[in-house]
A and B are shown apart, each in its own frame.
Chain A
């Protein structure tokens, strides 16, 4: 049976199945309420399981990111001062020896305070740098090759919706078999003067070095900061201030060009998703490619 055989041929899950026991206990255990929610009296059973509790600590920390980052410094510094104050107020000479138990306790508290201060400094130093979004200059367009079957065009539109919703993608162009079958999103305004979006010259693109390299290597190419690449001239249909571009080969015959509005805007997770989506797109289009060449001859 076909489905059964897949189980044996393909074992794509890449992690190694070594077992590691979890040793650290979680500090907060969120309780789950196993109360049956009152189900309405329709024929299908309503969801009866537990509802997730709002994680207020996570929300608090994410919303006050800067304050939480410097919190350990304040806590450590305040405790340091408190320990020293305690020592002077109690009339003990500020000598750092471990002879009396008081001194030992002081030293331990000082050590903890220093740890906190260092942690706060580390957190401040690894604060991520926010990168601003650059609005693409151009006109919106939506061009789909007219002779595509419904399944292919709906798949292409789904890809565009997913990419534009989830990532910083603002332009999507799919070129397959010397035709541009999709140009959607922002495009550069044509200089001829009528303000129409620039069309994609698929043949010229396929002769360019960007396309050739991507097809030859068969791997995704991520141009994280497009302004640094001379190959930018091969993509005149993208808005001129496109910040990042991903070129995803679709099999051997096509490429998907994804333009984003932020430098280094595509994360590694995005890249992985785009790679696998590209393969699916290739499989879908390849099944219908005879329709493409036939209709082109019309």
Chain B
């Protein structure tokens, strides 16, 4: 078993997956020059959309150009307001100026909204990477009283979920077996031995074991959703594991458990990710 899992880190060096981005920036002396960047991003969708895109960027590393309209909106709006109060006396503002300012401010509001709308268009790629929130520690615990094959399956499933999706913490509970891996906020009083019991208690409290539908919270506000989750969780996906009814038998679909994924970025799971996670959950459901 250790053979399977310890060989996995080596795969990082062996894998030759086609890289998603080919930065071909032409660097010039002026830092703010316009340069071109070839981006080959492939989008998940039922219709197999695919694009090779030539995008113009300012060549500043770490600057996300898709947010430029938002900053321009804020900047120009503040300049408009400044101009209104400082540029002239209040007594001499004409209705024409007020109309122009109204148009300008509504345009600024729309510009601020543009990156938000752009996120939902087809072909929008998530440029943030999952960051690890403070105060979490990396853990890997699993129920002990289960078969070895089950342990391998759980370990592999948690590994693949952490590796291939934008997940920072994963919790799988299926047929009485529990496995938690990733970055969690562990309370002080729960030592390593009691960790599994702490997870069980939290799950009981929320009642996740009886979940029938997939839950997806793509954008969490700052309020803490559940005490179980690491602080800084922005997206949450809970996928129930349903028991596949045997053909011919007249039984309802039972609930075997669930797979819980937490991520520190918003809108972390696209349609393709959710499809894969559902397929992985089916593995435990048979």
Instruction: Point out residues on A near B: beta carbons under 8 Å.
Output: 2-3, 5-7, 9-15, 17-20, 24, 26-32, 39, 44-52, 55, 57-58, 61-62, 65, 68-69, 72, 75-76, 79, 82-83, 86-87, 89-90, 92, 100-102, 104-106, 108-109, 111-113, 115-116, 119, 122-123, 126-131, 133, 151, 154, 158, 161-162, 165-166, 168, 217-220, 222, 262, 264-265, 267-273, 275-277, 279-280, 283
Contact = CB atoms under 8 A, between A and B. Distances in A.
A15 B49 contact: no
Contacts of B48: 130-131, 133, 168, 262, 264-265
A102 B84 contact: no
Interface SS of chain B:
helix
Contacts of B88: 100-101
A49 B206 contact: yes
Contacts of B160: 273, 276-277, 280
A82 B103 contact: yes
Interface of B: 1-9, 11-12, 14-18, 20, 42-44, 47-51, 53, 55-56, 67-70, 72-73, 76, 79-80, 83-84, 87-88, 93-97, 99-101, 103-104, 106-108, 110-114, 116-118, 120-123, 129-134, 138-142, 144, 149, 151-152, 155-156, 159-160, 162-164, 182, 204-211, 215-221, 223, 225-226, 266, 272-273, 275-276, 278-280, 282-283, 286
Contacts of B152: 283
B162 A50 contact: no
Contacts, number: 302
A207 B263 CA distance: 45
A3 B272 contact: no
Given A162-B280, A267-B42, A79 B156 contact: no
A264 B2 contact: no
15 contacts: A13-B162, A32-B217, A47-B208, A92-B96, A101-B84, A104-B87, A109-B100, A113-B107, A130-B49, A131-B50, A133-B48, A165-B278, A166-B278, A269-B276, A275-B11
Contacts of A52: 215-218
A92 B6 CA distance: 76
B96 A86 contact: yes
A119 B275 contact: no
Identify which of B118, B205, B282 gathers the most chain A CB atoms within 10 Å of its CB.
Answer: B118
Given A69-B121, A129-B50, A273-B276, A6 B2 contact: yes
A161 to B, nearest CB: 7
Contact of B55 (A11, A24, A61, A126): A126
List of 3 A-B pairs having minimum Cβ-Cβ separation, nearest first:
A162-B279, A90-B96, A101-B87
Contact of A65 (B99, B113, B121, B209): B121
A102 B220 CA distance: 42
Contacts of B210: 44-47
A218 B94 CA distance: 74
Contacts of B206: 47-49
Question: Most chain-A CB neighbours within 10 Å: which of B9, B103, B155?
Answer: B103
Contacts of A166: 272, 275-276, 278-279
Contacts of B68: 115
A186 B97 CA distance: 69
Contacts of B218: 52, 55, 58
Contact of A165 (B133, B221, B223, B275): B275
B8 A128 contact: no
Given A269-B164, A271-B18, A126 B103 contact: no
A9 B8 CA distance: 11
A273 B117 CA distance: 29
Nearest to B222: A29
B116 A119 contact: no
Nearest to A218: B14
Given A47-B207, A105-B104, A267-B44, A27 B113 contact: yes
Given A27-B113, A161-B282, A116 B121 contact: no
A132 to B, nearest CB: 8
A32 B107 contact: no
Nearest to B20: A268
Contacts of B114: 72, 116, 119
Interface centre among A27, A69, A108 (most CB of B within 10 A): A108
Contacts of B121: 61-62, 65, 68-69, 123
A283 B139 CA distance: 25
Contacts of B101: 105, 109
B5 A6 contact: yes
Contacts of A270: 272
Nearest to B164: A272
B201 to A, nearest CB: 12
Given A87-B96, A90-B94, A220-B15, A119 B69 contact: yes
A112 B5 contact: no
Contact of B107 (A28, A102, A109): A109
